[in-house]
Amino acid sequence: MFKNLCAKLYYEQDKPKRIDGNKDNEGFISTLVFSVIHLLWCLSLIEIFKGIAVSRSPSTERKSRANAIDFHTVLKWVIVLFFLVYPRGLAWKVGVGTLAYFLFMNLFSYFYYHLWKYEPPTEIASKPDVFHARTNRRFILFALSFLYSIVGFAAFFRGPWGAELRLFDRSMENAPITDALAASVANAFTFTPGQFVPASHFGYALLTTQVFYSFVFLVVILVVSLPPKS
């Protein structure tokens, strides 16, 4: 459905692909889910960066792809730190939309590349040193992604939505950055002994969203860590 939409702008090797040998086992639900995954993948800014980088330097495909990922990582961190320090630096709705997009795509990319996308065996598996270095890079990117979610929700807490939350009976809106970060860490790991609580249904929904977000990350880690079936 979205092949024409994503035909020229993206890195071909990372595109969602159907397994031809399994099409007879798939019904309309699988087709619908695949279409949604494909659409979300096309809407991911990092995929556009990778496509542009590789098209400009096809002779160094892997390096270009890695640099595009790093550039996107730096960009999204600059954005989230800006909104953490200046929660009203732009119109609040613009800030919310921007942060929500990057937070969602942060989680989607991790889900897509660690659970959804099939990775065929490569020669790297037979090179322990290269495999270890690649694993280190993946861990660094994971740590940055999870920490990004902590900072992103802390930015939400410091903005106008902070009026829906209470920390030691004080509104979180425009709270000190350290308080916002501490509250975000505590809520992500569900360590909330009563000092950080919602003041409304919306505040409760916001805190629940962060817990669910963190839960998905932990589930992905667990699934990836399980040994493959022999």
pTM of the full structure: 0.85
Q: Are 84 and 151 in contact (CB under 8 A)?
A: yes
Q: What is the mean pLDDT of the chain?
A: 83
Beta strands in the chain (DSSP E): 165-167, 170-171, 196-198
Residue 58 half-sphere exposure, CB side, CA atoms within 13 Å? 5
Q: Find the range with the poorest average confidence among 63-67, 122-126, 178-182.
A: 122-126
- Write out pLDDT tens, residues 147-168: 999 999 999 999 889 999 998 8
CA 125 to chain CA centroid, nearest Å: 26
The neighbour count for residue 129, using CB atoms within 10 Å, is 8
For residue 117, give the amino acid letter. K
Beta strands in 31-179 (DSSP E): 165-167, 170-171
* Residue of higher predicted confidence among 221 and 65: 65
Region 71-99: what's the mean pLDDT? Answer: 87
Long-range interactions of 180-185: CB distance < 8 A, separation 24+: 180/84, 180/154, 180/155, 181/150, 181/151, 181/154, 183/154, 183/157, 184/150, 184/151, 184/153, 184/154, 184/157, 184/210, 185/150
- According to the model, what pLDDT value does residue 74 have? 95
Task: Give the position of tokens 């629940």.
Answer: 208
- According to the model, what pLDDT value does residue 230 have? 47
- According to the model, what pLDDT value does residue 60 have? 84
- According to the model, what pLDDT value does residue 122 have? 59
Domain boundaries, the chain: 1-16+26-225
Q: Is the pLDDT of residue 43 over 50?
A: yes
* Residue of higher predicted confidence among 125 and 84: 84
- According to the model, what pLDDT value does residue 167 have? 87
